[in-house]
Amino acid sequence: MIFDLIKKRNGNWKDDTLSGLTVALALVPEAIAFSFIAGVEPLVGLWAAVFMGLITSAFGGRPGMISGSTGAIAIVVATVVRAGNQHGEALGIEALGLQYLFAVLMIAGIIQALIGVSKLGRFIRLVPHPVMMGFVNGLAIVILLGQFDFFKMPNPAYDSTNPDSPARIWMEQGGLVMMGVLAAITMAIIHFFPKITNAVPSILIAILVVGGISATGIIETKTIADVLYEGSGNRELSNSLPVLSWPGDIPWKQEGVALLIIGTAFSVAMVGIIESLMTLQLIDDMTETRGQGNRECLAQGGANFLSGLFGGMGGCAMIGQSLINIKSGGRGRWSGIVAALTLTAFILVGGPLIVQIPIAALVGVMFMVVIGTFEWATLKTVGRVPFSEIFVIVAVTLITVFMHNLALAVFVGVILSALVFAWESAKHVRLRLDDSQEGVRIYNLQGVLYFGSVREFAERLVPSNDPDEVIIDFKEARVCDFSSLETLNGVTERYKVAGKRIRLRHLSPACVNMIDSASPLVTVEVAEDDPHYEPARM
């Protein structure tokens, strides 16, 4: 990375507390913005950040990782909220969209908890490095693009009936320049302040300095209050406590409702788990430690369930805020707990103060997060790694950026990587001819025999070209799947029809067991003189 934003060091109570305070400041505008994306009130997103952050920090599998309201989840649930509101208007049920949302989160939480209990979180290790790079780069670009929306304002001439009329337009030139200058000051403080001292997180200092400049009244710039007003028409944060929000009015028997809610819940669960586990892996690499994926799945599930039960919009791990926490020295569970408790205090008593924070300061923080998140090493891969790897990186990045579907991006990346691996592996199956034994032809096989390589293997064995006795030596190879067993069965039959005999030898114990298990379905013969293993039963 261009900047050394992440320092590998052990945390302590002071670092965790200060970093938690810093993270809490950064959580507010994100939670509010994501609430608007999901089509719910800001308080729904803020309490979701509290529940997600508190529960995952206390019980999750990755100390130092921050969870809260996220854009990925907001985009997924926005559809079900809109559908619920439309159904509510038709049925005369107020705020039915929120009930749909809460039901989705509770079901998604159960799915995530089951994934953790079933120990399926380990499958994140199957994600290849190019997919990880594409995911990180795509997420960095999404975070970057999301910040530019803060430089816009509602279009006073907006016409909903005119598709060419934008709902938001750029601020006037003076406002843009001022926000840009303040964001640049924020970035400069974050970069240079650690050269003076590391006693206090540079991000916290940057927010306080820029906030102080704005508070003097010398300049006027956009604040959190302005963002809040643009979305809800209210410049103040509500100070009400969360209440139990059981979704009891959902018309489950209405056609398509159950499928919509359960399908969305599955999408939320998968997107949340993938983003959380990949963020966990990223933090592991940065801190040279190792988190517990299954424990994180369980904690994420519990947090989403309770978030839905008490009126939150759910969420998952936040790569931006997690990097802010790590950069500020937060390493333990206490940092996330402090962030959640501080956010609670902001909601209940600190609203009038927190809404005065300049958006430019938080934008500057997120710009630095983008710089630290993007894998700049990707730019050096061109011409140095196989084209297929670069293609996977670009594909995952583009899907993440343009479709905002992290689960789909990772899934496509894994499939592409698997196909590339299968294609390349099929090229590395070799048959070496050995006629040292009179009357017996030995084929020394090298490589992995599986569905991608069996065709080329079978085409090289021609009974008419071989003597009556043929042995295939698996000392440097192995049988991998049922396709390879079926191919060996077919080759055996071909030689038998030609009046010749083909046997296998030097099979590993795992291969022998596989052949034994499939003996009712396939017939292959293992050489009786195999010096290492018992012959497989026919």
| pLDDT tens per residue, range 413-422 | 989 998 888 8
Strands (E), 71-187: 152-154, 168-170
The neighbouring-strand residues paired with 505 are 473
My answer on whether 76 and 175 are in the same domain is: yes
* pTM attached to this predicted model: 0.72
- Within 8 A by CB and 6+ apart from 215, the residues are 356
Q: Is residue 388 part of a domain?
A: no
Q: Answer yes or no: do 370 and 442 share one domain.
A: no
On whether the CB atoms of residues 479 and 446 are closer than 8 A, the answer is: no
Question: Could you state, in chain order, the average pLDDT of each consecutive group of 10 residues for the chain (538 residues)?
Answer: 45 85 83 80 89 94 91 84 90 88 96 92 78 84 84 84 83 91 93 83 85 86 83 74 87 90 91 87 84 93 95 89 86 92 89 84 84 83 85 91 79 89 79 86 90 87 92 89 90 93 88 85 76 43
| Residue 191 resides in a domain | yes
Are 154 and 223 within one domain?
yes
Asked whether residue 402 is domain-assigned, the answer is no
d(CA 359, CA 26): 10
State whether 432 and 352 are in the same domain: no
For residue 28, is it within any domain?
Answer: yes
- Long-range contact list for 419-426, CB < 8 A, 24+ apart? 420/388, 420/389, 420/392, 422/450, 422/451, 422/452, 423/452, 424/388, 425/450, 425/452, 425/453, 426/452, 426/453, 426/456
Q: Is residue 411 included in any domain, yes or no?
A: no
Q: Which domain holds residue 48?
A: 13-158+166-380
Spatial distance between the Cα atoms of 98 and 402, rounded to a whole number of angstroms = 27
SS3 sequence, 183-228?
Answer: HHHHHHHHHHHHHCCCCCCHHHHHHHHHHHHHHCCCCCCCEHHHHH
Considering the domain architecture, whether residues 363 and 480 belong to the same structural domain is answered as: no
508 plus 362 within the same structural domain: no
Count CA within 13 A, CB hemisphere, residue 170.
8
Q: In what order do the strands lie in the sheet with 469-479?
A: 430-434, 440-449, 469-479, 501-505
> What distance in Å separates the CA atoms of residue 209 and residue 182, rounded to the nearest whole number?
10
Q: What is the pLDDT of residue 37?
A: 76
User: Across the strands, what pairs with 472?
Assistant: 443, 504
CATH classification at residue 453: 3.30.750.24
Note whether 371 and 233 are same-domain residues.
yes
Closest CA to 104 of 133, 78, 128: 78
- Is 391 inside any structural domain? no
HSE, CB side, 13 Å, CA atoms: give it for residue 267: 22
Q: What's residue 5's pLDDT?
A: 43
Residue 466 within a domain: yes
Can you read off the two tokens belonging to residue 479?
A: 């049988």
CB 207 within 8 A of CB 19: no
Task: Tally the residues of the chain.
Answer: 538
Query: pLDDT digit string (tens) for 206-240?
Result: 888 998 988 888 888 888 888 777 766 777 777 77
d(CA 382, CA 355): 45
Are 192 and 329 in contact, with CB atoms under 8 Å apart?
no
| pLDDT (0 to 100) of residue 528 | 66
CB 338 within 8 Å of CB 28 = no
Closest CA to 322 of 268, 288, 280, 363: 280
* Residues 6 or more apart in contact with residue 217 via CB below 8 angstroms: none
Instruction: Tell me the CA end-to-end span of the chain in Å, nearest whole number.
Output: 59
- Whole-angstrom Cα distance, residue 256 to residue 266? 15
Q: How many domains does the chain have?
A: 2
CA-based nearest residue to 391, from 355, 415, 363:
415
CB 339 within 8 A of CB 55: no
**Are both 368 and 470 inside the same structural domain?**
no
Asked if residue 420 is part of any domain, the answer here is no
Residue 48, helix vs strand vs coil = helix
User: What is the rounded CA–CA span in Å between residue 453 and residue 459?
Assistant: 10
Burial of 384 (0-12, 13-18, 19+ CB in 10 A): exposed
pLDDT of amino acid 188: 95
User: ∠ CA 333-202-19 to the nearest 5 degrees?
Assistant: 15
Phi, psi of 537 (to 5 degrees): -70, 140
Residues 22 and 92 grouped into a single domain: yes
| Per-residue pLDDT tens over the stretch 467-482 | 999 999 998 888 888 8
My answer on whether 72 and 201 are in the same domain is yes
Region label for 429, one of left (φ > 0), alpha (ψ between -120 and 50) or beta (otherwise): beta
Tokens read off for 172: 């006037």
pLDDT of residue 437: 83
Q: Does one domain contain both 329 and 469?
A: no
Give the separation between CA 146 and CA 369, rounded to whole angstroms. Answer: 13
Q: Examine the domain organization and report whether 309 and 369 are in the same domain.
A: yes
| Closest by CA position to 31, among listed 271, 307, 331, 400 | 307
Question: How many angstroms separate the CA atoms of 68 and 337, rounded?
Answer: 12
